[in-house]
Amino acid sequence: MTAVEAVRTRVRRRRPFLWTGTGVLAVLIVLGLVGPFLVADPLAVDPVHALQSPSGAHWFGTDYYGRDVFARAVHAIRLDLMLGVSVALLALVIGSAVGVISGYLGGRVDDVLMRVTDVLMAFPGFVLAMILLLAIGESTPKLALALAVAAVPPFVRLVRAEALAQRELEYVDGAKVSGAGWLRIAFGHVLPNSLRPAAVQFTLVCGYSILNVAGLAYLGIGIHAPTPEWGVMVAEGAQNMLTGQWWTAFFPGLLIALTVMGLHFVGDDLGGDR
Amino acid sequence: MTRYVLRRLGISAVTVVGLVLVVFLVTRILPGDAAAARLGPEATAEDVAALRDRYGLDDPLLVQLGDYLARLAQGDLGQAVSTGRDVSTELFARFPATIELALAALVVALLIGIPLGVLAAARHGRVADGVARVYAVLGSSMAPFWLGLLLIFGLFSTLRWLPGPIGRLPVGVAPPPEITGMYVLDALLSGDPGTAGQALRYLALPALTLGIGASAAVVKMVRSALISTAGTGYVRTALAFGVPGREVLWRDRMRNAMLPILTSLGLVFSFLLGGNVIVEQLFSWPGMGRLAYDAVRANDLEILQGYAIVIGVVYIGLNVLIDLAYGLIDPRIRLGGRA
**With 80 as the cut, is the pLDDT of residue A1 above it?**
no
Going from the C-alpha of A133 to that of each of B12, B29, B31, B154, B282, the distances in angstroms are 26, 13, 9, 34, 21
Q: Where are the alpha helices (DSSP H) in B169-253?
A: 183-189, 193-227, 233-240, 245-247
- Confidence band for B270, pLDDT divided at 50, 70 and 90: confident
How close does chain A come to B87, measured CA to CA in Å?
16
Question: Between these two residues, B130 and B275, which has the higher pLDDT value?
Answer: B130
Give the nearest chain A residue to B155 (CA atoms): A242
CB pair distance less than 8 Å for A264 and B141: yes
- At residue B295, the pLDDT reads 87
CA distance A260 to A247: 20
Q: In a mutagenesis test of the B interface, which of A15, A119, A224, A260 is the best target, namely the one with the most B β-carbons within 10 Å?
A: A119
Q: Give the number of other Cβ atoms within 10 Å of residue B322's Cβ.
A: 16
Do the chains contact at B145 and A132, CB–CB below 8 Å?
no
Distance from CA of B136 to the nearest CA of A (A): 10
Average pLDDT (A35-39) is: 82
CA distance B46 to chain A (A): 20
* Residue A274 pLDDT > 70: no
Model confidence band, residue B323 (pLDDT cutoffs 50, 70, 90): confident
Q: What is the average pLDDT across B40-67?
A: 74
Burial class (CB in 10 A: 0-12, 13-18, 19+), A87: buried
CB burial of A45-58 (b: ≥16 within 10 Å; e: otherwise) equals ebeeeebbebeeeb
A232 min Cα distance to partner chain B (Å): 11
Give the percent of chain A with pLDDT over 70. 95
Nearest by CB to residue A135, choosing from B30, B157, B277, is B30
For A123, which residue in chain B has the nearest alpha carbon? B312
Q: What is the pLDDT averaged over residues B282-298?
A: 89
State the greatest distance between any 2 C-alpha atoms of chain B, in Å, as a whole number.
83
The chain-wide mean pLDDT, for chain A, equals 86
pLDDT class for A165, splitting at 50, 70, 90? Answer: confident
The verdict on a CB contact (< 8 Å) between A135 and B149 is no
| Confidence label for B338 from pLDDT (cuts 50, 70 and 90) | very low
Confidence of residue B339 (pLDDT cuts 50, 70, 90): very low
| Inter-chain touch B37–A134, beta carbons under 8 Å | yes
The answer to whether the Cβ–Cβ distance between A215 and B157 falls below 8 Å is no
Which of A115, A127, A261 has its CB closest to that of B18?
A115
Does position B205 have pLDDT exceeding 90, yes or no?
Answer: yes
Between A85 and B64, the higher pLDDT residue: A85
